[in-house]
Amino acid sequence: MGLSAVAPLWGPPGLLLAIALHPALSVPLRRDYCVLGAGPAGLQMAYFLQHAGRDYEVFERAPRPGSFFTRYPRHRKLISINKRYTGKANAEFNLRHDWNSLLSHDPRLLFRHYSRAYFPDARDMVRYLGDFADTLGLRIQYNTTIAHVTLDKDRRAWNGHYFILTDQKGQVHQCSVLLVATGLSVPNQVDFPGSENVEGYESVSIDPEDFIGQNVLILGRGNSAFETAENILGVTNFIHMLSRSRVRLSWATHYVGDLRAINNGLLDTYQLKSLDGLLESDLRDLAILKDSKGKFHVTLKFFLEEASTNQSADAITLPQDDNDNFAMRVPYDRVIRCLGWNFDFSIFNKSLRLNSGNAFGKKYPLIRASYESKGSRGLFILGTASHSVDYRKSAGGFIHGFRYTVRAVHRLLEHRHHSVAWPATELPITQLTSSIVRRVNEASGLYQMFGVLADVILLKENAMAFEYLEEFPIQMLAQLETLTGRKARHGLFVINMEYGRNFSGPDKDVFFDDRSVGHTEDAWQSNFLHPVIYYYRYLPTEQEVRFRPAHWPLPRPTAIHHIVEDFLTDWTAPIGHILPLRRFLENCLDTDLRSFYAESCFLFALTRQKLPPFCQQGYLRMQGLMSTESLWQHRVESRLLRDDAPTGRDLEDSSQQPGDQELLGAPLAPGPLAQSLDSNKEEL
């Protein structure tokens, strides 16, 4: 589609004239990747593109990164935690509890260096994002507002079309891939009679002095509503909060976007009957009237519709006229709207088909589980605006979640356009258990994007080795081979983090007795976040993923294993965590994943048709665990070795220490097994 064909339909006055007077502006500047927005998600994608050496440009309307945080939250305190101390030195583990840092190779660019506060000030985030962009030298065009985005079909393009972006100066930019990281920036408004009398969260005063002795009604029940209430709680006569549904507490729903404890002081004053209160009603059924004294009254839209148009506001029927104990019968001095935010669709041509038209589609763009637009191939939504994939389920709408979904999108793009397969580590099957244990105890992406991103283990032929893929979007599992360039021909494991299915929700009592599980046989009933391993003999089909059981993140597997929840989220207990996991893996693979001394492998070679993988990959290749001094002595006493075998002192003087990963020159004669399998401890 040519620019001239769409120009009369869009743009501010004078933009078309500017292009006509400056023909050079109509010559597109070409980039492989265009990123809209230099907020956290845009900067994160820019880092990955730059690190991979790709051709990209970031467009930011403000003069610096993170412009959203220069104004929001209005009262300047972030609700993303900044846990600077965990008792661990592992950087990946520490990111589990760092909700503000972006991913990079530079340890200086961790948010812990920018604030000591557990709930930091928004100005620290602005400073951090500016340093992130400057230190890494990211390519950003500041003071550049993209006014319109459309498509130009071209068979030579990567996706069959180019994205044509026009900025406020009329300059045209042509992109092969468009990455939208503009967040949610349009205040959500509900149209009802009297809505023009309502002040918005985005503009209301934040000076408590302006609310002294006032009656205040707040519309909404999210964090912005409670943040506003918390700021004026000590100076108002009372605050009433009105919303369509009941309050959802994040500690009950396990969803970080619900009401956080830092802002919920009004819940105390409501439940302890100190004048403040919460009410539920659909705003579309109400009306707000202003009387002759400038006070606001809440009435039913029904009464307003019955009244003649020439009646004054003071003459319209109010609910208390019929019901003298109506909850909101007292007039209000101010009404404040705190109803959240929507995505800005205004700059996108309808040909991109970003909006689904339904109520949810007005808040978020229409995208797939791969974060790609359903209407336009090559258009990806990043950051807060991509939260429709895991809305109210995981942390994809927040920095500590979308820093990992952005990385997943980049890996998908690397394979699609540059033939770079999804990163994977190939290891012998003997390291399967330890690989899983390490990831579930350290990985931050798995931990924060539970139920959305999962590790995938692809088994090699005869299950003697495996490839480990990290943080793949599990709803795209059926397309894994196409999206990653990896083959899943011999079975696979999927490692996911999950809460108990009946544990979370606004109507759940999450503090009930016996809320946690401690026995391994009850692991499947674990309530708190815990690892779940799915085993499939074959890669699930798209139909199986689509029609999976209700509330299951994945199709029904061949076998499933829950690692029992742990109070410390430390799944390293030899008996409680590792042994049941290893046995599950062994049952799935029909093999023995234990490690053995050389003499045990020698005994197996004489008595078994199939050796354990450890013996196949170690002992038969002249590698393995060296014997200990006690085993040497045992062989001497059994007359399997001469008495001139190395003594303890000889072993100490030798370059080969007991326990080194090296086998002696010749296979050792078999003897009684050093380990008894009479108990779990001895088996380990």
pLDDT digits (tens, 9 = 90+) for 219-274: 999 999 999 999 999 999 999 999 988 899 998 888 999 999 899 899 999 999 99
The beta strand positions in 460-613, using DSSP E, are 465-473, 492-498, 530-536, 559-562
pLDDT at residue 319 above 90? no
Could you tell me which residues come within 8 angstroms of residue 288 by beta carbon, excluding any fewer than 6 positions away?
192, 193, 194, 195, 197, 198, 296, 297, 298, 299, 335
pLDDT digits (tens, 9 = 90+) for 5-47: 333 344 554 554 444 445 555 678 999 999 999 999 999 999 9
Average pLDDT over residues 139-167: 95
Is residue 208 a part of any domain in this protein?
yes
H or E element in which residue 56 lies: strand 56-59
Of 285, 311, 339, the residue at which a domain comes to its end is 339
pLDDT grade for 656, boundaries at 50, 70 and 90: very low
Please name which of 433, 415, 432 lies closest in space to residue 423, comparing C-alpha atoms. 415
Q: Which of the pair, 311 or 239, is modelled with greater confidence? A: 239
Using the predicted structure, report yes or no on whether residue 681 has a pLDDT greater than 60.
no
Average pLDDT for 544-571:
94
Q: pLDDT band at 649, cuts 50/70/90?
A: very low
The closest of 384, 395, 409 to 476, measured between CA atoms, is 409
Say if residue 155 is in the same domain as residue 49: yes
Q: Judge whether residue 602 has pLDDT over 70.
A: yes
pLDDT band at 134 (very low <50, low <70, confident <90, very high): very high
Strand, helix or coil at 23? helix
- In this structure, the answer to whether residues 238 and 323 fall within a common structural domain is yes
Q: Note whether 264 and 226 are within 8 A (CB).
A: yes
Of the residues 290, 305, 339, which one is the last residue of a structural domain? Answer: 339
- pLDDT given at position 598: 82
Res 313: pLDDT: 58
Q: b vs e for 91-107, b when ≥16 Cβ sit within 10 Å of the residue's Cβ?
A: eebbbbbbbbbbbbeee
Q: Which domain covers residue 512, as residue numbers?
A: 423-589
pLDDT band at 421 (very low <50, low <70, confident <90, very high): very high
pLDDT of residue 6: 38
On whether the CB atoms of residues 178 and 159 are closer than 8 A, the answer is no
Residue 377 shares a structural domain with residue 323:
no
Q: Do residue 434 and residue 580 come from a single domain?
A: yes
Instruction: Please say if the pLDDT value at position 87 is more than 60.
Output: yes
To the question of pTM greater than 0.75 for the whole model, the response is yes
Q: Is the pLDDT of residue 4 over 70?
A: no
Whether the pLDDT of residue 570 is over 90: the answer is: yes
pLDDT score of 651 more than 50:
no
Percent pLDDT > 70 in the chain is 83
Q: Is the pLDDT of residue 407 over 60?
A: yes
Alpha carbons 147 and 152: distance in angstroms, whole number? 16
Indicate if 584 and 436 belong to the same structural domain: yes
Does one domain contain both 431 and 567? yes
Within-domain flag for 479:
yes
pLDDT, one tens digit per residue, over 474-514 is 999 999 999 999 999 999 999 999 999 878 777 778 888 88
Spatial distance between the Cα atoms of 401 and 384, rounded to a whole number of angstroms: 9
Judge whether 443 lies within some domain. Answer: yes
User: Mapping DSSP to helix (H, G, I), strand (E, B) and coil, where does residue 675 land?
Assistant: coil
- Among candidate residues 386, 404, 503, the one with its CA nearest the CA of residue 447: 404
What is the DSSP code string of 71-115?
T-STT-B--S-B----S---HHHHGGGBSSPPP-S-TT--GGGT-
Closest among 483, 583, 475 to 533, alpha carbons compared: 583
Task: Please report whether residue 669 resides in a domain.
Answer: no
Omega of the bond prior to 646 within 30 degrees of 0, cis? Answer: no
Does residue 180 sit in the same domain as residue 66?
yes
Question: 324 and 367 in one domain?
Answer: no
| One domain, residues 616 and 582 | no
Q: Region 264-288: what's the mean pLDDT?
A: 91
Question: How far apart are the C-alpha atoms of 521 and 337, rounded to whole Å?
Answer: 50
Counting the structural domains of the chain, the total is 4
Q: Is residue 190 part of a domain?
A: no
Q: Is there a single domain that holds both residue 364 and residue 332?
A: no
What is the per-residue pLDDT for 3? 36
Residue 108 lies in a domain: yes
Distance (Å, whole) CA 455 – CA 438? 12
d(CA 616, CA 317): 87
Bridge partners, residue 455, by sequence: 495
Quick one: which of 113, 112, 106 has its CA closest to 43?
A: 106
User: What is the band of 151 on the pLDDT scale with cuts at 50, 70, 90?
Assistant: very high
Averaged confidence pLDDT in the chain: 86
Strands, DSSP E only, in 460-609?
465-473, 492-498, 530-536, 559-562
* Amino acid making up residue 625: L
- What are the tens digits of pLDDT across the range 389-406? 999 899 999 999 999 999
The answer to whether 372 and 330 are in contact (CB under 8 A) is: no
Looking at per-residue pLDDT, the higher value among 349 and 1 belongs to 349
Q: Which 3 state secondary structure label does DSSP give 379? A: strand
Residue 418 domain flag: no
Reduced to 3 states, what is the DSSP secondary structure of residue 469? strand
Collapse the DSSP code of 438 into the 3-class scheme (helix H, G, I; strand E, B; otherwise coil) and give the result: helix
Note whether 275 and 284 are within 8 A (CB).
Answer: no
Which tens digits make up the pLDDT trace of 189-219? 888 888 899 999 999 999 999 999 999 999 9
Q: 323: domain CATH number?
A: 3.50.50.60
Residue 456 has pLDDT above 90, yes or no: yes
For residue 370, which of 486, 497, 472 has the smallest C-alpha distance? 472
